[in-house]
Amino acid sequence: MWEVTLDDTQALALGAGVLGTGGGGNTYIGRIWLERELRLSGKGCRIVDADELADDALAVGIGSMGAPTVGVEKLDAREEYLPIVRALGQHVGKPIDALVIGEIGGANSLIPLIAGLQLGLPVVDGDGMGRAFPELQMDNFSITGISTSPFGLGDSHGNTVIFQRVDSPFRAEQYGRALTIEMGGSAALAMPTMTGRQMKASLIRGTLSLTRRLGHALLDARRRSADPAEVVARLANGRVLFRGKITDVRRETVRGFARGHLKIAGFGESGELMEIVFQNEHLIAWHNGDVVCTVPDLVSILNLDDGEPIGTEMLRYGLRVAVIGMPAPRELKTPAALRLVGPAAFGYDVPFVPMPGHLL
């Protein structure tokens, strides 16, 4: 067991930005929320290893659903998780014992910690995605067949909805997305509800620790004036794919998603070009027309100067950036997983050529 304290929030926000691959919600806002909650509670957030939870304990995944572009504009108190987790516990007739990070990327790394502090519950070190993904059926809990329902969705007015039974993770995505849009474009999500045994079998372990390590390494690189992109790439078993200046960003919010397309021009005179498409998260990177990295491998964009990760909602013309490619965790590279999170699942007729190695 360890604790997240005010000493970790800056590092966690940075690391969450890296693993967010452009999505998962703005980490600056998430960090402010987490710091506020740590100050209010006067103690740290307990982080436990998956094996510390009993097999018959009850765990629930926590995250925010919706377009990152919207999350930035909704600066509410993030207290929606209390009624949802309580309602879920009431619904299944058993209190929830621990929270699980739904996706370790962007603000969604930090929100479960906030909920843990509010509810007095520990948070498990690991998550369902090992990165961020835009849709509900794209986590390893769904991939390995853990039932999506019951799950809870709530808005910032305390309205709480329990999806008692849904017949597939895709249905959860479809119905949950429609309600999220109605809730103003972002909503609080508690999903899935699972036993300790299920969680241990499907969790992508240790990703919160990795988030913290990445963040502290970035901070250390800043202090040492080292190259932050190289530091991050090395720690995550990846490589720097490109350096250049953003010359074009197209972005629209479609059916609750931030979709877009990005061009980055190399610094030299040689006309080097990187293009990236995103749906909340970066999906595919092309270098001079050749695919160099695709989902489920991670594509992250850092500010070239200070290594600050840049979310898709913050991309803008003129930013000088480094693009990093990192291999996905091994759980996302099984045939079953690739059907749900490979390039074809996002509508791209591009083969998945994995980067060497694994995220952890």
Tell me whether residue 119 or residue 233 sits nearer to a copy of itself (CB atom): 119
In angstroms, give the least distance from the CB of 84 to a copy of itself. Answer: 9
Q: Which chain residues interact with a copy of itself by CB under 8 A?
A: 83, 87, 90-91, 152, 157-167, 171, 174-175, 178-179, 181-183
In angstroms, give the least distance from the CB of 66 to a copy of itself. Answer: 14
Contact predicate 327/238, CB 8 Å: yes
Burial 174-197 (b: 16+ CB within 10 A, else e): eebbebbbebebbbbbbbbbbbbe
Tell me whether residue 88 or residue 101 sits nearer to a copy of itself (CB atom): 88
In angstroms, give the least distance from the CB of 160 to a copy of itself. Answer: 4
Tell me whether residue 163 or residue 348 sits nearer to a copy of itself (CB atom): 163
In angstroms, give the least distance from the CB of 214 to a copy of itself. Answer: 38
Tell me whether residue 145 or residue 158 sits nearer to a copy of itself (CB atom): 158
Q: How far apart are CA 311 and CA 302, in angstroms?
A: 9
Q: How far apart are CA 112 and CA 190, in angstroms?
A: 10
Give the contacts of 93 (CB within 8 A, at least 6 positions apart): none
Tell me whether residue 147 or residue 312 sits nearer to a copy of itself (CB atom): 147
Contact predicate 60/194, CB 8 Å: yes
CA-based torsion, 229, 230, 231, 236: positive or negative = positive
In angstroms, give the least distance from the CB of 187 to a copy of itself. Answer: 11
Contact predicate 289/272, CB 8 Å: no
Tell me whether residue 82 or residue 201 sits nearer to a copy of itself (CB atom): 82
| DSSP letters for 66-108 | E-HHHHTT------THHHHHHHHHHHHTS---EEEES--SGGG
In angstroms, give the least distance from the CB of 91 to a copy of itself. Answer: 6
